[in-house]
Amino acid sequence: MAAHSPVLSMSKIISSLWGGRLGSAAKVWGTTTVTSQRNKSYPPPAKYGGRHTVTLIPGDGIGPELLSHVREVFRYSCVPVDFEVIHVNSALETEDDIDNAITAIRRNGIGLKGNIETKHTLSPSVKSWNNLLRTRLDLYANVMHCQSLPGVQTRHKNIDIIIIRENTEGEYSNLEHESVSGVVESLKIITRNNSLRIAEYAFKLAREKGRRRVTAVHKANIMKLGDGLFLQCCNEVAAGYPDITFDSMIVDNTTMQLVSKPHQFDVMVMPNLYGNVVSNVCAGLVGGPGLVPGANYGRDYAVFETATRNTGKSIADRNTANPTAMLLASCMMLDHIKLNNYASLIRNAVLTTMNETRLHTPDIGGQGTTLDVVQSIMKNIQSKGQLTSEL
Amino acid sequence: MAGNAWRSMLSQAVAAVRKPTVSSFSRGMQTVTLIPGDGIGPEISTAVMKIFEAAKAPIKWEERNVTAIKGPGGKWMIPPDAKESMNKNKMGLKGPLKTPIAAGHPSMNLLLRKTFDLYANVRPCVSIEGYKTPYTDVDLVTIRENTEGEYSGIEHIIVDGVVQSIKLITEDASRRIAEYAFEYARNNQRASVTAVHKANIMRMSDGLFLRKCREVAENFKDVKFTEMYLDTVCLNMVQDPTQFDVLVMPNLYGDILSDLCAGLIGGLGVTPSGNIGANGVAIFESVHGTAPDIAGLDLANPTALLLSAVMMLRHMNLHSHADKIQTACFDTIKDKKVLTGDLGGKSKCSEFTGEICRRVHDMD
Q: Which of A255, A279, A311 to mutate to test the interface with B (most CBs of B within 10 A)?
A: A255
Flag whether pLDDT at A386 surpasses 90: no
Rounded distance, CA A292 to CA B335, Å? 41
Determine, for residues A284 and B203 on separate chains, whether the beta-carbon distance falls below 8 Å. Answer: no
Flag whether pLDDT at B104 surpasses 50: yes
Chain A residues within an 8 Å CB radius of B230: 276-277
pLDDT in tens, A101-117: 999 999 999 999 999 99
Chain A residue nearest residue B234, CA to CA: A281
Q: How high is the pLDDT of residue A267?
A: 97
pLDDT in tens, A240-252: 999 999 999 999 9
Q: How high is the pLDDT of residue A390?
A: 64
Rounded distance, CA A363 to CA A357, Å? 16
Chain B residues within an 8 Å CB radius of A177: 204
Residue B75 pLDDT level (bands cut at 50, 70, 90): confident
Instruction: Tell me if chain B has a CB within 8 Å of the CB of A312.
Output: no
Flag whether pLDDT at A8 surpasses 50: no
Q: How high is the pLDDT of residue B285?
A: 94
Residue A19 pLDDT level (bands cut at 50, 70, 90): very low
Mean pLDDT of chain B: 88
Chain A residues within an 8 Å CB radius of B252: 219, 273
The values of phi and psi at residue B249, to 5°, are -160, 165
Instruction: Tell me if chain B has a CB within 8 Å of the CB of A85.
Output: no
Rounded distance, CA A266 to CA A277, Å? 17
Mean pLDDT for the stretch of residues A288-311:
94
Comparing C-alpha atoms, which of A13, A34, A44 is closest to residue A303? A44
Whole-model pTM: value is: 0.86
Chain A residue nearest residue B150, CA to CA: A223
Contacts of B142 (CB under 8 A, 6+ apart): B121, B122, B123, B125, B247, B249, B254, B257, B258, B261
| Cis, peptide link before residue A43, omega less than 30° from 0 | yes
Sign, Cα dihedral of A17, A23, A28, A33 = positive
Rounded distance, CA B266 to CA B33, Å? 28
Instruction: Tell me if chain A has a CB within 8 Å of the CB of B179.
Output: no
Q: Which of A129, A165, A196, A260 to mutate to test the interface with B (most CBs of B within 10 A)?
A: A260
Flag whether pLDDT at A33 surpasses 60: no
Chain B residues within an 8 Å CB radius of A228: 163
Q: How high is the pLDDT of residue B343?
A: 86
Q: Tell me the DSSP string of B231-251.
A: HHHHHHHHH-GGG--EEEE-H
Residue A42 pLDDT level (bands cut at 50, 70, 90): very low
Instruction: Tell me if chain B has a CB within 8 Å of the CB of A128.
Output: yes
pLDDT in tens, B10-42: 555 544 444 444 444 455 789 999 999 989 999
Rounded distance, CA A104 to CA A42, Å? 19
Q: In a 3-state reduction of DSSP, which class is residue A113?
A: strand
Residue B7 pLDDT level (bands cut at 50, 70, 90): low
Determine, for residues B263 and A276 on separate chains, whether the beta-carbon distance falls below 8 Å. Answer: no
Is there a contact between B265 and B125 (Cβ–Cβ < 8 Å)? yes
Q: Which of A118, A173, A176, A313 to mutate to test the interface with B (most CBs of B within 10 A)?
A: A176
pLDDT in tens, A166-224: 999 988 888 899 989 999 999 999 999 999 999 999 999 999 999 999 999 999 988 88
Determine, for residues A184 and B168 on separate chains, whether the beta-carbon distance falls below 8 Å. Answer: yes
Q: How high is the pLDDT of residue B73?
A: 80
Q: Which of A174, A189, A251 sits opposite B164 (nearest CB)?
A: A189
Q: How high is the pLDDT of residue B36?
A: 92
Residue A257: enclosing H or E segment and its boundaries?
Answer: helix A251-260
Rounded distance, CA A372 to CA A329, Å? 19
The backbone region for B141, taken as left when phi is positive above 0, alpha when psi lies in -120 to 50, beta otherwise, is beta
Q: Which of B166, B169, B171 sits opposite A187 (nearest CB)?
A: B166
In chain B, residues 218-237 whose CB comes closer than 8 Å to chain A = 230-232, 234-237
Determine, for residues A156 and B262 on separate chains, whether the beta-carbon distance falls below 8 Å. Answer: no
Rounded distance, CA B248 to CA B214, Å? 12
Name the percent of chain B lying above pLDDT 90: 63
Q: Which of B155, B201, B259 sits opposite A253 (nearest CB)?
A: B259
Determine, for residues A176 and B172 on separate chains, whether the beta-carbon distance falls below 8 Å. Answer: no
The backbone region for A49, taken as left when phi is positive above 0, alpha when psi lies in -120 to 50, beta otherwise, is left
Name the percent of chain A lying above pLDDT 70: 87
Q: Which of B163, B201, B239 sits opposite A128 (nearest CB)?
A: B201
Instruction: Tell me if chain B has a CB within 8 Å of the CB of A135.
Output: no
Comparing C-alpha atoms, which of B5, B30, B7 is closest to residue B20? B30
Determine, for residues B167 and A187 on separate chains, whether the beta-carbon distance falls below 8 Å. Answer: yes
Q: How high is the pLDDT of residue B255?
A: 92
Determine, for residues B165 and A223 on separate chains, whether the beta-carbon distance falls below 8 Å. Answer: yes
Q: Which of A142-156, A331-345, A371-385, B96-110 has the lowest average pLDDT?
A: B96-110
Q: Which of A184, A219, A258 sits opposite B204 (nearest CB)?
A: A184
Determine, for residues A256 and B267 on separate chains, whether the beta-carbon distance falls below 8 Å. Answer: yes
Rounded distance, CA A323 to CA A312, Å? 12
Chain B residues within an 8 Å CB radius of A120: 199-200, 203, 207
Nearest-Cα distance to chain B for A103, in Å, is 23
Instruction: Tell me if chain A has a CB within 8 Å of the CB of B127.
Output: no
Comparing C-alpha atoms, which of A7, A6, A302 is closest to residue A137? A302
Chain B residue nearest residue A272, CA to CA: B201
Residue B101 pLDDT level (bands cut at 50, 70, 90): low
Instruction: Tell me if chain A has a CB within 8 Å of the CB of B249.
Output: no
Q: How high is the pLDDT of residue B3?
A: 54
Determine, for residues A191 and B163 on separate chains, whether the beta-carbon distance falls below 8 Å. Answer: yes
Flag whether pLDDT at A32 surpasses 60: no
Nearest-Cα distance to chain B for A100, in Å, is 22
Nearest-Cα distance to chain B for A156, in Å, is 8
Q: Which of B151, B235, B263 sits opposite A255 (nearest CB)?
A: B263
How many interchain CB pairs under 8 A, A with B? 168
Flag whether pLDDT at B77 surpasses 70: yes
Mean pLDDT of chain A: 86
Our CA dihedral for A180, A184, A187, A188, rounded to 10 degrees, sits at -150
Question: Which ipTM was obtained for this model?
Answer: 0.85
Residue A41 pLDDT level (bands cut at 50, 70, 90): very low
pLDDT in tens, B298-350: 889 999 999 999 999 999 989 899 999 999 999 999 988 888 888 888 899 99
Q: How high is the pLDDT of residue A2?
A: 42
Rounded distance, CA B209 to CA B232, Å? 18
Rounded distance, CA A21 to CA B329, Å? 58
Nearest-Cα distance to chain A for B206, in Å, is 9
Q: Which of A222, A225, A252 sits opposite B259 (nearest CB)?
A: A252
pLDDT in tens, B133-189: 999 999 999 999 999 888 877 899 999 999 999 999 999 999 999 999 999 999 989
Rounded distance, CA B144 to CA B196, Å? 10
pLDDT in tens, A61-100: 999 999 999 999 999 999 999 999 999 988 888 889 999 9
Instruction: Tell me if chain A has a CB within 8 Å of the CB of B101.
Output: no
Q: Which of B107, B196, B203, B261 to mutate to test the interface with A (most CBs of A within 10 A)?
A: B203
Q: How high is the pLDDT of residue B1?
A: 52
